[in-house]
Structure 1
Amino acid sequence: MKSNDLVINKNILLHNTIRQGIRDAFPLAIGIATYGIPYGVLGIHAGFGVLGTVAMSALVFSGSVQMISIAMHTAGAGLVSIIGTAVLLNLRNLLYGATLASGISTAKKWRWLLAFGVSDEPFVLGTARFQSFGPDPLYFGIITIVFYLTWVATSFIGAIIGGHINTQDLGLDLAFPMTFVAILSQIIKDKPIIATALTGAIITIANEIFVPGSPYVILLAGFISPFVGCYLRSRKSNVE
């Protein structure tokens, strides 16, 4: 009898975890959809085709990397530059993974699969869940599946309708850069971060003036700017 009760309680717990994961992920999934469709449209206009556009979402699963890759490809950047930029953009996932490691540790052999879901939205929900309830790899897996399916599905929708949409008329080509600016504006709170942002802006503007259209500006700004911020922060820590 007790064993049956344990099985029932376990099933209830699993059901509640799945339901909570879907419920928590749904609002953010709507936000992901607003990027997935524009990405699909831009992918078509960049010449990736429906298959290439959707395959990139299925295999890469990183909105920032995919958007930047499209922009660089359109600007004529080489494969090495695109890959290098993608690596730099995703370096933050190393920190995300280190933070989430204890929360998915009980998954054991499935951890490598859950690692595929390490990105911005799963990180936010995952860390909040782990802090409140401890390790919960099932929850992390559920929210990852919701986000993944949303991203791939909306990329497909965008790719299908992409040929009938003028991206410049709708401003879709500005959607992702403006999102970056909006996110950045929320975290500029001290001098090191301000210096990092200004350094990146100066490098970008100077590049556009002296070497317009260079595919290496993202690599250059992304490599130099963080060092300026880290240097100023270390000086601030030493003074304190």
Structure 2
Amino acid sequence: MPKLPRTVNFPVPAKPTRYEIIEGLRITAPVAAGYIPLGLAYGVLVIQLGLPWWLAPALSLSAYSGSAELLVVTLAAQNTPLAVIAVTMLLVNFRLLFFAFSFPLHVIEGRVARLFSMYALVDEAYALTAARPNGWTKPRLLAMQVLFNLTWVTSSLVGVSAGSLIP
């Protein structure tokens, strides 16, 4: 029996980090644009409810979840007990636990990056990774999540500014 030539499998070279970040931003930008009107409305709501302006970014950074944030500011403006607000946040965000089972967290290396990725797991990030289950790298995934977070916080701050101009 003749010997077959031995094939060598060379690893596919990884794409540069810059390319992966740009690709993550390109994929994410159309979806992140949907955050703008919601973030604006959230910022306006905070001001119109008579809450301090800093509550919008503080809540966005501490409990990043658009739907829950809208509920929390409404409940806070009505002097709802903190325990009720906490349980409401838990129940509204409980679905994210199930998202984590199929979210590509395994590509994220490093404790800080992994913690940020878990913190920034929102419906839209899950939807994009579920719709495109392959090709996610650490830079691409983190670029997506950073863009979502920055779009939300920035648009809510613009909403706060706009809300202060509305009588």
> Which residue identity does 1:25 align to in structure 2?
T
Within the alignment, does 1:132 sit opposite 2:104 as a pair?
no
Give the equivalent residue in structure 2 for 1:141: 142
The secondary structure found in structure 2 opposite 1:49 is: coil
Cα offsets for 1:92-136 (capped at 9, x unmatched)? 010111211xx221323232221111110111112233x232x52
Partner of 2:106: 105
For the Cα contact (< 8 Å) 1:54–1:159, is it kept in 2?
no
The aligned counterpart of 2:25 is 22
Q: Shift in Å at residue 138 of structure 1? A: 2.1
Q: Normalised by the size of structure 2, how large is the TM-score?
A: 0.83
Taking the TM superposition and a 5 Å limit, the aligned residue runs for 1:173-192 are none
> Aligned residue for 1:74?
77
Q: Secondary structure at the match of 2:154?
A: helix
How many aligned residue pairs are there? 154
Contact 1:105–1:137 (Cα < 8 Å) also in 2: no
SS of residue paired to 1:108: coil
Gaps of 5+ in 2: 1-10
Gaps of 5+ in 1: 1-5, 167-240
Task: Look up the match of 2:98.
Answer: 95
Would you say the 8 A contact 1:46–1:73 is kept in 2?
no
Greater relative CO (CA pairs within 8 A, separation 6+): 2
Percent same amino acid among aligned pairs? 26
Per the alignment, residue 122 of structure 2 pairs with: 119
Q: Partners in 1 of 2:19 and 2:82 — Cα distance?
A: 45
